[in-house]
Chains A and B, each alone.
Chain A
Amino acid sequence: MRETKYWTWHMFAGVIILILLGIHMITMHLSTLLGWFNPAGGDAIGWDNLLARATLFIYAVVYIVLLGAALYHGLYGFRTILFELGLKKGAQKFINILFIAAGICLFAFGTWAATKFYIIAQGA
């Protein structure tokens, strides 16, 4: 029954990504047309825009939620593909542990970066 739990959250994570990554894509790539979250104008990846966005608390929260959802969705999807190769029980267990560890490490690193930059932006 654990697989039902994993898969249900894989689906929910997909929906979260669809919404949040949609916003991310509009911010980053339709900046010249719409200008959302780009108060300094011009290039969405310019340093001024980066700082302006990072002063918003909600932006840091959205980044962290998106990071978690995307890592879970991506790593579960990759695990699915690997499991369907007909691996032995030991290899399946190894993949589970490896992916959980990698997921936690990447999540911790990304969260650290988002938080740190939020603090930097508050001071700037």
Chain B
Amino acid sequence: MAEYKKYSNRLGITGWLAGGRWGIERYLYSLHRITGLGILLYFILHIFVTSSRVFSMDAWEKWMGFFGSPIFKFGEFLVFVAFAFHAVNGIRLFLIELGFAVGKAEEPIYPYKSSLNTQRPLMVVLMIVAIVLIAAGGYEFLGLTH
């Protein structure tokens, strides 16, 4: 075939996030990535910060005091929100990607129902669980128990 000039129409990274008339699972997919990256960053810092306990009690308490300020408390709460979402959505993805929540192949009859419809009750229930967890975490983290 003869070579001809073409225009590359790949969406690029905006294709992960923005779009046209997308379904809700696509936004969960984007959120799962963002929360995952946030948790990984926190986790690596966490390894170093908590290691200060090896050196002395003073070193530990200095760091804990530093991260005890309200701004870091709020940051920690954001990490908890990310964790709660990532964990709950992770349960959903675990069940889906190992083929437990997508149903069996069936004859498509218009209007088509897909595996997205099969997993949707699970998604709704788990997202409610996530919201409850985040609310409970907010109660604890933002100092309302004291």
Asked if A47 and B91 sit within 8 Å, CB to CB, the answer is no
Q: Which residues of A contact B94 (CB under 8 A)?
A: 11, 14-15
- Residue B18 at the chain A interface, CB threshold 8 Å: no
Q: Which residues of A contact B51 (CB under 8 A)?
A: 109-110, 113
- Residue A58 at the chain B interface, CB threshold 8 Å: no
Selected from A47, A74, A78, A113, the residue in CB contact (under 8 A) with B50 is: A113
- Which residue of chain A has its CB nearest to the CB of B34? A81
Complex-state Cα separation, A11 to B93, whole angstroms: 9
A11-B98, A81-B33 given; A74·B53 CB < 8 A: no
Complex-state Cα separation, A113 to B54, whole angstroms: 6
With A45-B64, A70-B43, A113-B53 known, 17 other A-B pairs at CB within 8 A are A11-B94, A18-B87, A18-B91, A22-B87, A25-B83, A29-B137, A33-B140, A33-B145, A47-B60, A50-B53, A75-B40, A81-B36, A85-B13, A106-B47, A109-B48, A113-B47, A120-B54
Which of A's residues lie within 8 Å of B, judged by CB?
11, 14-15, 18, 21-22, 25, 29-30, 32-33, 45, 47, 50, 67, 70-71, 74-75, 77-78, 81, 85, 106, 109-110, 113, 116-117, 120
